[in-house]
Amino acid sequence: MDDHELRALLRHALDRAQASALSTLDAEIDVKQCLRDAYRQAGLDPGLAEQTDDTDRRLNNR
């Protein structure tokens, strides 16, 4: 098996595994909580994680 064939074989397996991992992660990870943690780790107010486009629009309409 040459490098090209080996790469194709591995790519197929890794792509399938990545798609499967992504599906699992989407179901298992609480992204909003992770976002709050990211603000905390950056030394910022975790409440900033709640800011959305709607918040922006309200602020801009004041």
Partner 1 sequence: MSTDGRAQELRLSEKDITAFNEFYEGNLTQLMAAVRRLGAGQQQAMNVAQHAMVLLLRHFPTVGRSEGERYSYVKLIAIRHYYGGLAEAEKERKAIADADWIRPSRSTDDVDGERRIIQLLERLSPKQQAVVALFVDGYTPSETAALLGQPAATVSSNLRHGLTKLRIYLEQLQSQQDQAGDQEGG
Q: Which residues bind partner 1 (CB under 8 A)?
A: 1, 3, 6-7, 9-14, 16-18, 21-22, 25-26, 29, 31-32, 34-35, 37-39, 41-45, 47-53, 55-56, 59
Shortest separation between residue 2's beta carbon and partner 1, angstroms: 10
Shortest separation between residue 8's beta carbon and partner 1, angstroms: 9
Do residues 40 and 46 touch, judged by C-beta distance below 8 A? yes
Shortest separation between residue 4's beta carbon and partner 1, angstroms: 11
| SS3 of the chain: helix, strand, coil, percent, to 5 | 80, 0, 20
Give me the count of residues in the chain.
62
**DSSP reduced 3-state for 49:** helix
